[in-house]
Chains A and B, each alone.
Chain A
């Protein structure tokens, strides 16, 4: 159900290590999208911002709810998805592809290991 290439935070972000050295793409999981409902607003960090694992990156807001976005790994923001604000419906159809939010140049790739794999994340959700 959840892409195997990604790792998952308890706070429902996904992190995907890319081929380029130390680049990790970050987004929110299909579960988060389903919980939030129609996403209507995003607050994302600026390129160059330094982030710590677990710190707040910004906000994802739906009509009814606001949800903080947390950094799954530490590092520097290398790229932010500039197209997504004009195309918010894409969260429903492609949350792990076109709905990526930002790319972090990770300072310590080993932090990914402390995140859940797809199977563990799925099991954990059954409690919800």
Chain B
């Protein structure tokens, strides 16, 4: 052993009693007196702190840096915006890995590349050689000057955020970066890590400042963790380790990069990369990989083996190098394996928690014939004895923050048993009827229904929804051959044809516009239809070639309350183009005000529109507290002569259209979509509206909306609920001048009452916290699901909502509530004071107030803002008899 290097934390490890070992030329702690098992478990439940300063850190700058990185690294460095990082491979010409690495872009003109300790010299020498072709690039090895620590685990966010004295934590998304200070010392923070923990941070600090920050993190409760547990954590997360899953396999052969399934995130064939090192070999591997995933092994020679997670189901520990057999034949080798601890969970659900009980499981990663897959039974040779094992899809899931959750695949629930013959259908029918009665009583008479997207329809609306046109068809389209008259395909349609015309008239009146499409049966369908119509319209003179998608969309990110349908994961997916630079959907998000994440920053928005020139702008959110700045943006677009289509997905707030909230067409929207069953208290349907005239040059867009509705989205457009919707629209037009102001007044009163109870109401007090029917309550990171469940047990129905600081809905820290349904049952401002008191009792004092809620609901059982069946009793009786 030659002279080993020491990190700046060396003395701290000694003082903590760590067992030191050699790793990659450095003297590092393998474990502290706590031991590997406890250190692993502490990371999964609390926060683990790792000294990772042994890893290499290179800084690159200069005008040739980007071309250099595109050449020597496998990922698309041009896709990295400032404040982002990416996983990448230092590839060789034969398609193997010289090293795996992480590329960070904290500031505009500088890149930080982090490499494995054991390969630092090799990587540096290779880069120096290649750099000769990239003279305007300066590369410095900052491994000594810049220390690196990793903080991982569910408590790590609390610990780190308390220590920041300026700056912010990165956005709650993997690979996001930020720059902040701790006790005045600059810290570069990345949401990256090697443990599978969804709450994860890696910190880069100057050598002199690092030890003090280490101490602060320990003081705040982080557990020091050595390389031993670092390895068990990454194994559980199925993350590769160079020398095991990259480099050479146990037979001494070079491992092709795509053997490791994470390669698909680390390798890019973007045209921006030109001819990068290993491109041809990696291309062949990627083609083989795609075919193999379709069970086509014709290209298997280019990717003969794939690394898969394997669970040992028999007795024993599988270790690197052990042979793996399938049906008696050698199928591969274990690349990494050991016994790994895990916490037992109280239940597999949103409100499940890790218990104090733990267990151990024998797991590994193995390099196996590409023909194998999840579910295959294997045998691993451990000390000349064959032990049973199983290929599993994963050992751990990180998709439900704040915890990483172990998945014991051998314990997964078996599939459904085959249905047994049961002759007792009458009993099932009876039970169904009884349960429906029970549910209706509970929900309609005993609960306060505060889910903002929900509503109860009036009796007349519901009655009409189940009358005869339900179950019938009335497909129709307008034909130019008949001067745009509507032609119906079926008979018996005169009644519903008239109803549809009347409905269009009433909605024109309500929305103040010319064009209405009523055949859609949900808000998301209305949105999908508009997206489809846009694509249709963009390709109107291009029918012979592949239809181009919408080049760029501006929307609200789902993390800031944007609706699902406007996201690439929702209805937008098949209609928005891929950005060739970022290789992701070409979507850009509305910027929000720094002190009010619920409100668009109009000035910043104008800059984004000028830079990105979106073809479609989608206003509207499902978490909505404010008006959307339609008029300001419309003015800006028109002055700049940008041809953007401005769409307002009104969804929740369709029922508030008017002088009390917004009048979208007066303010300049091109298209409005909405759900007719939220604040607009109709049946569950969707609607699209516009204001084009036949002589407008954008009129074909409206024609496309009609076509993409029928025949594009519906055949049957649910005639029963259409009839019901006409009744509800009559109600809306008749009662809106009383209903709308009451809803908004209720929301403000509710927000005020909750605030006076001492609860944390989100939003700007200058606006009374809300301008809509919604009120948002903050209950603490990750506490949303639990609080929503508790409220439901007290008959108060709300939904948990992720706020801007939360990674995903599983970590929701807020409760979203709406007052529209209860306003319909006659609640006015003062009535929300008692409700706020009850909610406070549940949330802040853990009480169950179910009986008090049931009693209170008794006052609000008569529906308002609708016509009384008594005034129309003769006709209603006829209807009852007809059902």
Chain A contacts to B: CB under 8 angstroms? 37-38, 40-41, 43, 59, 61-64, 66, 88, 92
Contact = CB atoms under 8 A, between A and B. Distances in A.
B67 interface: no
B36 A41 contact: no
A66 B317 contact: yes
B568 interface: no
Contact of B228 (A59, A61, A63): A63
B36 A63 contact: yes
Given A37-B35, A37-B36, A63-B36, 17 more contacts: A37-B31, A38-B36, A38-B37, A40-B37, A40-B341, A40-B360, A41-B316, A41-B317, A43-B316, A59-B383, A61-B317, A62-B36, A63-B37, A63-B228, A64-B30, A66-B319, A88-B360
Give the most central of A43, A63, A66: most B CB within 10 Å. A63
A16 B488 CA distance: 97
- Chain B contact residues: helix, strand, loop or mixed: mixed
Contacts of A63: 36-37, 228, 232, 338-340
B191 to A, nearest CB: 28
Interface in B10-27: 19
A66 B19 CA distance: 18
B53 interface: no
Given A63-B37, A63-B232, A66-B319, A41 B339 contact: yes
User: Could you say which interface size class chain B belongs to?
Assistant: 20 to 34
Given A40-B317, A43-B316, A66-B317, A61 B339 contact: yes
A36 B315 CA distance: 20
Given A40-B317, A41-B317, A64 B37 contact: no
A62 B19 CA distance: 15
A45 B315 CA distance: 14
B34 to A, nearest CB: 9
A33 to B, nearest CB: 11
Contact of B35 (A38, A43, A59, A66): A38
B584 to A, nearest CB: 39
Nearest to B360: A40
A64 B339 contact: no
A41 B361 CA distance: 10
B362 interface: yes
Give the most central of A37, A38, A62, A88: most B CB within 10 Å. A38
B317 A64 contact: no
Given A61-B339, A63-B339, A66-B319, A41 B37 contact: no
A64 B36 contact: yes
A92 B319 CA distance: 24
Contacts of A61: 317, 339
Contacts of B317: 40-41, 61, 66
Interface of B: 19, 30-31, 35-38, 228, 232, 315-317, 319, 338-341, 360, 362, 383
A70 to B, nearest CB: 15
Nearest to A59: B383
A41 B315 CA distance: 9
Contacts of B228: 37, 63-64
18 contacts: A37-B19, A38-B35, A38-B36, A40-B338, A41-B317, A41-B339, A43-B316, A59-B383, A62-B36, A63-B36, A63-B228, A63-B232, A63-B338, A64-B30, A64-B36, A66-B317, A66-B319, A88-B360
A97 B35 CA distance: 21
Contacts of B232: 63
A64 B316 contact: no
Contacts of A38: 35-38
A40 B232 CA distance: 12
Nearest to B315: A43
A64 B383 CA distance: 16
B558 to A, nearest CB: 40
> Can you list the 4 inter-chain pairs with the closest CB atoms, starting with the nearest?
A40-B339, A38-B37, A38-B35, A63-B36
Contacts of A88: 360
Contacts of B19: 37
Nearest to A40: B339
A38 B232 CA distance: 12
A48 to B, nearest CB: 19
A37 B30 CA distance: 10
Contacts of B36: 37-38, 62-64
Nearest to B31: A37
A63 B317 CA distance: 9
B689 to A, nearest CB: 64
Contacts of A37: 19, 30-31, 35-36, 228
A68 B316 CA distance: 14
A38 B319 CA distance: 16
A41 B383 CA distance: 14
B450 to A, nearest CB: 48
A88 B383 CA distance: 22
A61 B692 CA distance: 76
Give the most central of B228, B315, B317: most A CB within 10 Å. B317
Nearest to B341: A40
A117 to B, nearest CB: 28
A41 B35 contact: no
Contacts of A92: 35
A41 B319 contact: no
A93 B338 CA distance: 23
Contacts of B340: 63
B268 to A, nearest CB: 36
A38 B34 CA distance: 9
A107 B228 CA distance: 42
A21 to B, nearest CB: 34
A6 B861 CA distance: 82
